[in-house]
Amino acid sequence: MLNGINISHVFVADQDKALDFYVGRLGLEVSNDQDLGFMRWLTVRVPGQPGRDILLEKPGPPAMDDATARQTRELVAKGASGFTIGFTTADCRKTYEALLAKGVEFTQEPVEQPYGIDMGLRDPFGNHIRIVQLKGAS
């Protein structure tokens, strides 16, 4: 049976802009950047966590035609993708201040929740991201 998650994805309209955000601002690292001819395979991950990659996928071939890709970009930009990525941190408020200083725009400042301290943001394309400091984690 299944025993782990290897890769997941988020749709991005511009992979270079996605690199600037996910690597330059959030501090992830590039795990793969390959030109496959029909698409660019661009993955990032939390430093030190191999085997849990996020594909920064540009809507289009081979998975979808141009019309579907356009609709997908429009829906993501509206925030219709819903919750896409959840990260953890040892100190939510410190992470908030560091990311704010890098120009990250938040949809919710750090808030105490029953499970820990949680905050929200959107990437430049409209994907919803949550960062949580889990209760009891240090």
Q: Is residue 50 part of a domain?
A: yes
- Identify the pLDDT of residue 54: 97
| CA atoms of 15 and 28, how far apart (whole Å) | 14
In 3D space, the residue among 125, 53, 129, 127 whose CA is nearest the CA of residue 96 turns out to be 129
Residue 28 · residue 46 · CB < 8 Å? yes
| CA atoms of 90 and 95, how far apart (whole Å) | 8
Burial class (CB in 10 A: 0-12, 13-18, 19+), 117: buried
pLDDT in tens, 99-136: 999 999 999 999 999 999 999 999 999 999 999 999 98
Mean per-residue pLDDT, 18-39: 96
Structural domain boundaries, residue 67:
7-134
Average pLDDT, the chain: 94
Which CATH number covers residue 129? 3.10.180.10
pLDDT in tens, 46-103: 998 888 999 999 999 888 999 999 999 999 999 898 889 999 999 999 999 999 999 9
| CA atoms of 7 and 128, how far apart (whole Å) | 18
Q: Is residue 1 part of a domain?
A: no
- Identify the pLDDT of residue 137: 66
Q: Is residue 2 part of a domain?
A: no
Number of domains forming the structure of the chain: 1
